[in-house]
Structure formats: C-alpha cells, structure tokens
Amino acid sequence: MAAIRPFKGIRYNQSKVNFLGNVITPPYDVIDNEEQKRLHDLDPYNIIRLEYGETHPGDDSENNRYSRARETFNQWLNDQILFPENENCYYLYEQEYTYNQVNYSRRGIIAALKLTPYSEQVVLPHELTMSGPKADRLELLKNLRTNVSPIFTLFPDPDQQLDYFFSAINTDKPLLEAKEPSGQTHRLWAITSSDLQEKLTTYLRPQPLLIADGHHRYETALNYAGNQNSQKDPGSDYILTIMVSMKDRGLLVLPTHRLLSGLSQSQKDKLNRIIKNEFKLISLGDPHQLDRNYLLKEINKASLDHYGFGLITGRDACILKPLDNGSEKQLPVELLHERIIKPLFDQGEKSIIVDQEMISYPHDHNTAVDEVITGYADAAFILEPVAVEQVLEHARKGKIMPQKSTFFYPKLPSGLVLYNMDLS
C-alpha cells in the first residue's frame, strides 16, 4: 500500500527571484557539460548549483561540488532566496508543453512518498540502474538532506479521481507559474485543507506506484534511509515524488531507438549471423529511398503481431520478426537486447546496460535513419514505444526491462518545490 503524506515544501521566494523559468532545470541525468554551463550562466540562483554543480580543479574530499551545494543551499535559506512553507501541503502540478506542434497538458500530485523495498510490490521499478549515478546522488543527499528533484511515478487511477482534486481548488490562481525559455509552463497549487489531504491520502493508498523516471534517486534514497535511525530521523524514510495518472491525456511515451556505431568487421559479421539465426528478415529496400512513414506502419504491425522491430543498415531497411519468442512472450526491446545486443558485445554488464561509445539512444526515427545512411553509424534498430500498461504488467511480474526502454516526455523539472528531511 502506497504511503504518501503532505510536507513543508521549500520554494523560491518570488519577491527575490523574478523569473522562475530561469532558475528551474531538467533533472541531472539529461544535463551534459554544455547545458550545465549554460544553466550556471543563466541565473545566479539557478537550481543547477544544488542539483548538478560544476567540478573545479583542485576539488578534494572536503571541498567539492557537493560541499558547495550544501553551502549554497544554506546561504539561499539564510538570504530567503528559498523559504519553507508554514504548513504541510500536497501540491497539484500542471505541465504544459508542445511536441511535434501539438499542445499537451500533463497533471500530477506532488507528495512525500514512503520509501519501501521493491520486494513489497508497492513501488515498482521497470529499468536497470547503474552504480555510478547512485554514488553521485548519495553524496548529494548526504550533504543536502534534501530532494531537489522529484522522482516521476505513475498510478493506475481506476476511478480517474485526479480531476476531482483539481476541481476542488481554485485553479485560476496558481501558487506559482514558471514559464521556461523552451516554452514549457509549470504551475503549482497547494492543498492545505486537512479534509482534501485525507481524501487524497486515502485514494492513493491502495494503488501501486510505477517509477517512470528516477530509479537511481529512489534506490539511493532507500539506501540512505536504511543507514539512518528511523526513530530519530523519520524524514529520511520519504522521497519527493510527482505522481501522474496513467490515464492522463498528457502522458506521452516516446520510443527509444538503438544506434550502433564503431563496429569492427568481425562484429558486423557476428551481427549478420545473429539476425540470420534468430529472426525472419523482411526487406523494405534501399534505405536511401525509404518511405519512412511506411516503415513506421510496418514496425507497428510487426510489434503488435510478432514482437518485431526495424533494422536499418547502409544497404537495407528491413523488419525483423523473431523465429521463436518462447512461451513467455518478450517485448521487442527485450528481444533486441537478449537476442542481439547482449551476444553481440558479450561484455558482461555492459552488454546488458550500456556502452556509451558504441550505443546511442535517439528518440526520433529520422535521426537514427539519417545517421546510418550518411555513414556515421553502422546500424539502427527502430522500436515502437512501450505502452504504459505493458510496463506496469512487466513490473508487477517482477521483470526488469533494459535500461532506456522508455522515455516519458518531457522530463519533470528540478527546483519547483524541494523536500527537506528535517522539516518533516
């Protein structure tokens, strides 16, 4: 049973930070070095200084980006750049965005979520994690004792009650509104009524929560809480989350394709042997002359009927359908990793997780195809997006999908509201 509770959020002081869109950021895991610098330069109070600070020459165990994040956080609290709420709140959240010239609105609930081991089947993972990001997030958590960015969770919402909670407040007057230069708009409303808070807590209690984004942060927080004395430090048993209904009309899942680059000739030969032995190949012709809309339609049919996917090489565009998908049917992304990626690289953990030098993960099929036909990549595997219902079904069975199997677009921002363990 999911246990959530209201909390005293920490927010930016809008009398001192005029343009909220300049101080929030994407989560750390999608910020590269160039974007990190841009965000640092954008505003002196940008949350990047807490979420993903820069490293400096001469950094050591005492003076580093984590210690600087702690000093900056304390200074901002002292200067009232950031301030804590006077009372415990749940927050309603709305994120407006545009994708492919279509406008969307995604809504959710912000709460403090009780950390529970995956084995209890309350909070469900669906992707593999790596040790590196968890070590980084643990150091930040130790220094701040604060969640700067929320994890993104999904709940089934069988009665579609999220609309009720939005209608129960004055949605014309948000607590804050942040408009990003990218065009995204974020709004928050606080739920302070004890009656509404209890109804929300009760409604979410029996529902499983699927982690859409934030596996590393969740596992890090679970690890940190396990090393604390829960009686003396109850605040460490919770993590900041935004919970979105699986029925939300603005919930968008993008495909994540696989692009292989830098293959040796022996790897190319091995790839051809694997495909010949494991898959039925249906050629669509020269990739330079490919009708890409037709490609997507054929991939969609193959995915639904045979768990297939597309393959683009410099000489051919084709559909791959497994010769045998076994008694326990696997999703296309699972088949790809188990039948092709893993045996092709055969490097233990790397073959299952990621080799950044040889595998990249574009979300746009045109980008993937172009990389191959221009010679910058050796092969592209084009996949259908995985349906949310399929992800939940797999998670409930205890199945873990390959990393980067899903991409919930857009990412949730860091900095709208923070959860501090010592304010619980």
Q: What is the pLDDT of residue 1?
A: 73
Q: How confident is the model over 365-390, as pLDDT tens digits?
A: 999 999 999 999 999 999 999 989 88
Most confident of 21-25, 159-163, 305-309, 393-397: 21-25
pLDDT of res. 326: 64
- Distance between CA atoms of residues 329 and 312, nearest Å: 24
- pLDDT above 60 for 327: no
**Single-letter amino acid code for the residue at 364:** D
pLDDT above 80: residue 351: no
Its pTM surpasses 0.85: yes
The residues spanned by each domain of the chain are 4-252+409-423, 256-384
**30: which residues sit within 8 A by CB, 6+ positions away?**
411
Q: Quote the Cα angle for 6-193-82, to 5°.
A: 50
- Checking if the pLDDT of 162 tops 90, the result is no
Chain-wide mean pLDDT for the chain?
Answer: 92
Whether a cis peptide bond, with omega within 30° of 0, leads into 410 is yes
| Cα–Cα nearest to 123, from 109, 113, 138 | 113
Burial of 179 (0-12, 13-18, 19+ CB in 10 A): middle
115-130 pLDDT per residue, tens = 999 999 999 999 888 8
* Residue 230: partners with Cβ closer than 8 Å, 6 or more residues away: 236, 237
The answer to whether residues 91 and 191 touch, using CB atoms and an 8 Å cutoff, is: yes
Query: Could you tell me the fold of the domain covering 256-384?
Result: 3.30.1760
Per-residue model confidence (pLDDT) at position 330: 83
If pLDDT is split at 50, 70 and 90, which confidence band does 347 have? Answer: low
Residues facing residue 15 across a β-bridge? none
Which ranges of 153-289 does DSSP label H, i.e. alpha helix? 162-167, 194-204, 215-226, 265-278
pLDDT of amino acid 349: 40
Check residue 228 and give its pLDDT.
83
